[in-house]
Amino acid sequence: MNSILIIVFAPLVAALIAGLGGRVMGAFVAKLVTTGGLFLACALSWPIFLQYLGGGVEPGVVHVLDWVRSGDMAFDWELRVDTLTAIMLVVITTVSALVHLYSWGYMEEDPDQSRFFAYLSLFTFAMLMLVTANNLVQMFFGWEGVGLASYLLIGFWFRKPSANAAAIKAFVVNRVGDLGFMLGIFGTFLVFGTTSIPEILAAAPALQGASEIGFLGLRVDTLTVLCILLFIGAMGKSAQLGLHTWLPDAMEGPTPVSALIHAATMVTAGVFMVCRLSPMFEAAPAALAFVTVIGAATCFFAATIGMTQWDIKRVIAYSTCSQLGYMFFAAGVGAYGAAMFHLFTHAFFKALLFLGAGSVIHAMHHEQDMRYYGGLRKEIPLTFWAMLFGTLAITGVGVVALHVGFAGFHSKDAILEAAWASEGAYSNLAFWLGTVAALMTSFYSWRLMFLTFWGKPRWAQSEHIQHAVHHGHDEPKDHNPPRQEDAGHDVHHAVPDPSHHEGTGGYHPHESPVTMLIPLAVLSLGAIAAGFVFSHAFLDEAAFWNGAIAYNEHLMHEMHLVPGLVKYAATIVMVLGLLGAIYAYLIKPSVPRETAEQLGPIYTFVYRKWMFDELYNAVFVKPAFWLGRLFWKKGDEGTIDRFGPNGVAWVVARGSNLARSVQSGYLTSYALVMLLGLVAAVTWVLF
Amino acid sequence: MAGFPILTVMLLVPLVGAIACLFVKAPAARLIALAATLIDLALGVVLWANYDIGGDQWQFVESANLFAGFRYALGIDGIALMLIMLSVFLMPICIGASWQAIQKRVGEYMAAFLLMEVLMIGTFAAQDIFLFYIFFEAGLIPMYLIIGIWGGDNRIYAAYKFFLYTLIGSVLMLIAMLWMVNEAGTSAIPDLMRYDFDPGAQTLLFLAFFASFAVKVPMWPVHTWLPDAHVQAPTAGSVILAGVLLKLGGYGFIRFSLPMFPEASAQFAWLMWGLAMAAVVITSLIALVQHDMKKLIAYSSVAHMAIVIVGLFAFNVQGLEGGMIIMLSHGLVSGALFLCVGVIYDRLHTREIARYGGLAINMPKYAVLFLLFTMASIGLPGTSGFVGEFLSLAGIYQASSWAAFVATTGIILGAAYMLYLYRRIAFGQQVNADAAAMPDLSARELLLLAPIAAVVLWMGVYPESFLAPMRADIELLDQRLDRAAPASDADLVIGEAAPAAAVEPAEGAH
C-alpha cells in the first residue's frame, strides 16, 4: 500500500524541485525530474489497477497527517485506494506521464519550460489528492488545487491578455460551482456529523425520503438538497451547461494542458465525485433526475456548438463538454459503471485527439483555424493516423453483432443502452438527446478530419503561415501569437468559400518530433483497445467494483436486453453523421455555407455559443462592476463619509473654538485628559 | 518558568527600546528596534513553548494592586497567546520593512512602533478591564502618529478620520465598563467572564461594546476609515494595522461581548450577521473596482473580517475556532500583501495598479510569493485562509443557511478581485519601462516575506498547532454560549430580512 505515497507525492516533490530550482538547474533537469517522477508514478499505478482488476482486493486507507480537529469536526490527510481510485490513478498518471513526454517536443522552444513542467506536475499531485480523498474536505483540497494548476496553465503565456482573461474566467466560474460544493460539505457535516466519505455513504441510505432540511428558507428533502449542492460543484469543474463557459476559453493554454487537464483528467473530476458519492445520490432520486437532465442537455447543446466552430481546439473542447454530458447522464440513470467506463476510454481518445491537434498546430506554425488547414494527410501522416484512431474511437465505430469496436463504441453504446433500460426519471429524454448528440459527434469529428487532412491546402491565407514563410520556418516560434481570430466577431465570414483560400503559400509542414509521436502511439493503442479489453470488468462485474460505486446489477443486466434497434441506434447515427460530413465537406463544399445562410439567426445563435458569454456579461460581470462603483462612490463616499466623519468635521469646524482646539492635534493632552477622566470615574465608582 | 514575569518583561523590552530610540541617531534606532522586537519574538516563542495546553485557563498570571482600585493584572489564555504570537511575529517584519523606506525622524518612528507593540501585547494580556481599556484605546495614539507623520500626501485627513471613528465607541464602552464593574463588584476580566448580567442590561452593554469593537473590526458601515488609513499609512503601518489592530475588535467580541453578554449576543446575532453579509458582498464588489492597490486590499480586509464576525457569532465551536484562525491568517496574509505592495511602492512610488504589469517577467521571485499570498487570501485549501474560512462558514451554516450562503459568495468575489489585481500587476505585457526595470526581491525583502509564507502554509496544512492552545478556551466559551444560543436562535432567524433557515438543522436531519 505504501506505493500510493510515492505515486501521490512524487509529482509534488518533482513540481517543487522544478518550480523552485528550475532557474538554477536549468530546464533540462526540471524536465527530467518531473517526467521521471510521473513515469515512476505511472509504473506504480498500473500494478494497483491490475490488482483490482483481478478482484478480491479490499480498499485501503493510508493516514498521512492530521489536518483539522474542531469540536466534533475532524478530517485528516488520508490516501484512500479502492477500485474507483485505482481507475483514476492509471488514467491520471498515464495521461500525465505521456503529456509530460509530449511537452518535451511541443514546448521545446519555450523559454519557461521548467515553470511549465512544474505546473504540470503540481496539477498531477492535486488531481491525485482529489481521487485518493477519504473525506470531502481533502477532495475539496484537490478540487481547488487542480483549479489553481488549471488557472496557472491556462494563463501560462501570461503576456497574452486573452490567456489571462481565460485563466481568471476559469477560476471564477469554477468558484461559482465551489460555492455549491462548500455549502454541500457544510450541509453534509450538519446532517451526518462527519465529512468522512465512507461514513456518509454508510449513513445516507437510511435518510432516503425520510427527512427534511431547511435551506434558504425552504424545507426540502435532505439528500436532494445535499446532492444537488455537491453536484453544482461538479457542474463547475466538469463544465456542464450553465457553468461550462470557461472550458472553451481554457483552450488559451498550451495544447498539452488541454489534453491533460481539459480533456482527460480535471474536467472528469465532477463525474468522479458523483460516482464516488453514488450511494448518496442513489438515495436522492430527485437529484439524480437533475443530474440526468443537466448531463443530457449538455451533451446535446455542446455538440451543436461543436459543429459550427472553426478553431480546431474549440471543436475538441466542445466535444469534451458534450462527452462529459454523456458521463453525467449515465450516472444520472444509475449506470455509474458505464459513466466511469466512458471516463476511462474518453481519457485516452480525447487526450489523443488533443495531442494530435497539438501536433497539427505544431506543424502549422500555431495556426488553429481549420479554414486554413486542408490536405495535411500526406504531409503529417503519423499525426493523421493518430487523429484517425481518435476519431474512430470518439464516434464509436464498431461491429454491433460481434461487440468489437474502438474504445468509444463500447462505452457510448453502454451509456445509451443503460439510458434506454433505466427507469430513472428523464432517462428517455437522455437516450434521445444522447442519440442525436451521437449523430452530431460523428458529424463534427469527421468535419474536423476532412477540413484538416483532406481537400486541397488552404494555408496561404493564414497569418501564422505567412509569418513562418517570411521569417523562416526554423526561427524560434512566437509563443505569444496575436489573438486567435475570435470566433465571435466575424459572423459574416464565418463560412468562407474555400476556393478563395486555396494554396500552400510555399509552406511545408513537418511531422512532429519523436517525443510527441510516442505519446500519440501509446494513446492510439488506448483508443483502439481500451473499450474492448476492459468493457467486461467495468460494465458487468460487481466484484470488480467491490462496493466502490453503487453498482446496479439489475440495470446492468437489463441494458443487454434492450431492443435491437436501440443497440444499433448509436451505430446508425454514427454512419449518418459520417455520410453528412462526407457530403458537406468532401463532395459538395458549398453546402455548409448555404446551410448556414439558410438557417440565419439559428446558425448565428449556435455559432456564438448560444450567447452564454454575452448573457453572463450582461447579467453578472457588468452589473458587478457597476454595483462596485455605485457602492464605492455613492455608498461609501457619497453617504457614509459625507454624513459620517466629514459631517462631523463640518459640525466641529463650525462649532465652538473650544471644540476645535480640542480636536486639532494636541493628542498627548487629549490622551492625558482621557486618562485623568478615567481615573476619576473609576475612583468615583469604586469608593 | 515559575515566578518569572514573562509578560511584564515582554512589555518592558519594547518600552525600554522605545525610550532609547528617542535619544539616538537613525542607524542605532533601527538596530535597537530590531533587537527589541526580536527579543520579544524570542520571548513569545518561550511563552508558547511553556504554555500548558490543557492546563489552567489563565497562565503566566501576574497581579499587583495599584492606586485607587486599579489593578495591574496580566495573564493569558490560548486565545490571547495566539494573538500575542501574531503581534510579536509581525513586529520584527515591520521594522525590517521600514529599514530603508523611512528616512525622516527614524528614532521617533521606531519608538512609535515599539510603543505600539507594548500596547498590543498589553491589550491581549490584560486581565483587568480598565487596564485593558487603557491599552486598547492608547493603541490609537502611536498609530495616529505613524499615519499622521510618516504617511502619504493626504495623511492628516486619514489620521483624523481614523482617530475620530475609533474614538466614537470608546466613551460608550468606558461607561459600560464602569457600570459593569459597579454591578459585578470586580474589575477582573476572568471574573466578569463568569458573571451573569441581567439580560435586559446586557442589551445596552452589548451595544456599548459593539460601538467600539465594530469600528475596530471594522464592520460595514463604519469601515470607511480603513481604506483611507491604509492608503496613507507607510507600509509597516499598514501591516500592523491590518495584521493586529483589526484583530483587537475581533478579540473584543470574543473576550467581552460573547462571554459576558451571551443573551444579548444571541439577541443581536441577526444584526451581526446582517452587517457581515452586507460587508462581504458590498466591500468585495467595491474591491473589484479599485485602482489603488492598498485600497483594494483594505476593502478585502473588511470582507475577510466579516467572515470572522459570522464565525464568532455562529455560537458553535467550528465558528469560533474558524473566526480565530481567520484572524490569525488574515493578520499574516494581509500583512504580507501590504508588504508586497510596499516592495513595489518602494521602487516606483505609486500605488496605481495600472502603472505596473508584467512583473512576473522581471520579478519572478516576487511573483511567486505574491501569488502564494493571493491564493491564501482567496482561501485556497492548503493555505491558512482556507482553514479559517471553512470552519467559520461551516459554523455559520449550522446557525443560518442564509448567512452561510451570502457569506460564502465571498469566495467567488474574493477570487475575482484578487486574481484581477494579480493579473494587472504580475501578468500581461510590460507596458511601463520603469516598472519593467524594477529589480527582483532583495535579500532583506525575501527575509521579510519568506517566514510569513512558511507560517501561512504551516497553518494551512497542520492547523492543529494553532488550534490546540485555543481548544479548551473555545470549549468553555461554547459551553457558556450554549444556554443562550438555542433558546434565542429560533427567534433570531425568523425575521423579514433574514428568512428562517437556521432552525432546521437539529430537527431536520436525524
Tell me the domain boundaries of chain B: 274-471
Residue whose C-alpha is closest to residue A348's, from A312, A314, A389, A319: A389
In chain B, positions 137-196, which contact chain A (CB-CB < 8 Å)?
A: 137-138, 141, 144-145, 160-161, 163-165, 174, 178, 181-182
Q: Which of A521-530, A642-651, B149-158 has the highest mean pLDDT?
A: A521-530
**A278 Cβ partners below 8 Å, 6+ apart?**
A331, A336, A549, A550
Candidate from A88-92, A274-278, A573-577, B495-499 with smallest mean pLDDT: B495-499
Nearest by CB to residue B380, choosing from A144, A167, A212, is A144
* Distances, alpha carbon A134 to alpha carbons A6, A143, A680, B65, B360, in Å: 17, 13, 62, 56, 37
In chain A, positions 217-256, which contact chain B (CB-CB < 8 Å)?
A: 217, 219, 222
Averaged pLDDT, B326-349: 92
Residue in chain B closest to A668 (alpha carbons) equals: B141
**B479 Cβ partners below 8 Å, 6+ apart?**
none
Q: pLDDT at residue A193 above 70?
A: yes
Q: Which of A532-541, A638-647, A648-657 has the highest mean pLDDT?
A: A532-541
Q: pLDDT at residue B36 above 90?
A: yes
Widest distance between CA atoms in chain A: 106
Candidate from A171-175, A197-201, A640-644, B363-367 with smallest mean pLDDT: A640-644
- For A325-373, how does the pLDDT look when each residue is reduced to its tens digit (9 = 90+)? 999 999 999 899 999 999 999 999 999 999 999 999 988 888 888 888 8
Averaged pLDDT, A81-100: 93
pLDDT of residue B62: 87
CB contact under 8 A, B316 and A71: yes
- For A97-142, how does the pLDDT look when each residue is reduced to its tens digit (9 = 90+)? 999 999 999 988 888 889 999 999 999 999 999 999 999 999 999 9
* Share above pLDDT 90 across residues of chain B, in percent, rounded to a whole number: 48
Residue whose entry in the numeric block shows the C-alpha cell 532583506: B444
* Distances, alpha carbon A366 to alpha carbons A357, A373, A464, in Å: 11, 11, 7
Averaged pLDDT, A583-595: 86
Smallest CA–CA distance, residue B250 to chain A, in Å, is 19
Residue whose C-alpha is closest to residue B502's, from B256, B313, B297: B313
Separation between Cα atoms, residue A461 and residue A372, nearest integer Å: 7
pLDDT band at A507 (very low <50, low <70, confident <90, very high): confident
Residue in chain A closest to B66 (alpha carbons) equals: A679
pLDDT of residue A635: 81
Residue in chain B closest to A667 (alpha carbons) equals: B141
pLDDT of residue B509: 37
Neighboring chain B residues of A629 at a CB cutoff of 8 Å: 289
Q: Which pTM value belongs to this model? A: 0.90
CB contact under 8 A, B224 and A189: no
Separation between Cα atoms, residue B422 and residue B371, nearest integer Å: 7
pLDDT band at B3 (very low <50, low <70, confident <90, very high): confident
pLDDT of residue A661: 54
pLDDT of residue A304: 92
Separation between Cα atoms, residue A580 and residue A446, nearest integer Å: 9
pLDDT band at B350 (very low <50, low <70, confident <90, very high): confident
Phi and psi, residue B381, nearest 5°: -55, 145
Averaged pLDDT, B366-390: 93
Q: Which cell goes with B246? A: 483589526
- For A255-304, how does the pLDDT look when each residue is reduced to its tens digit (9 = 90+)? 999 999 988 899 999 999 999 999 999 989 999 999 999 999 999 999 99
Q: pLDDT at residue A476 above 80?
A: no
Averaged pLDDT, B457-461: 94
pLDDT band at A477 (very low <50, low <70, confident <90, very high): very low
pLDDT of residue A491: 39
Averaged pLDDT, B224-244: 89
Which sequence spans correspond to the domains of chain A? 167-605
* Share above pLDDT 70 across residues of chain B, in percent, rounded to a whole number: 94
- For A519-564, how does the pLDDT look when each residue is reduced to its tens digit (9 = 90+)? 999 999 999 998 888 988 888 888 888 888 888 888 888 888 888 8
**A197 Cβ partners below 8 Å, 6+ apart?**
A80, A133, A134, A135, A136, A139, A276, A277
- For A228-263, how does the pLDDT look when each residue is reduced to its tens digit (9 = 90+)? 999 999 999 999 988 999 999 999 889 999 999 988
pLDDT of residue A652: 66
Look at B57 and B497; give whichever has higher pLDDT.
Answer: B57
Residue whose C-alpha is closest to residue A42's, from A103, A84, A91, A82: A91
pLDDT of residue B496: 33
pLDDT band at A668 (very low <50, low <70, confident <90, very high): low
- A219, β-bridge pairs: A214
Nearest by CB to residue B463, choosing from A68, A72, A213, is A68
Q: Which cell goes with A77? A: 490527510
pLDDT band at B183 (very low <50, low <70, confident <90, very high): confident
Write the secondary structure of A270-334 as one string of H (helix), E (strand) and C (coil).
HHHHHHHCHHHHHCCHHHHHHHHHHHHHHHHHHHHHHCCCCEHHHHHHHHHHHHHHHHHHHHHCC
pLDDT of residue B105: 87
pLDDT band at B495 (very low <50, low <70, confident <90, very high): very low
- For B270-286, how does the pLDDT look when each residue is reduced to its tens digit (9 = 90+)? 899 999 999 999 999 99
Is B135:B98 a contact under the CB 8 Å cutoff?
A: no
Mutation target among B228, B318, B431, B481 for the A interface, most CBs of A within 10 A: B318
Mutation target among B412, B417, B459 for the A interface, most CBs of A within 10 A: B412
Q: Residue A188: CA atoms inside 13 Å, Cβ hemisphere, count?
A: 29
Residue whose C-alpha is closest to residue A158's, from B294, B59, B363, B288: B363
Averaged pLDDT, B223-248: 89
What number is the ipTM of this complex? 0.90
**A137 interfacial to chain B (CB closer than 8 Å):** yes
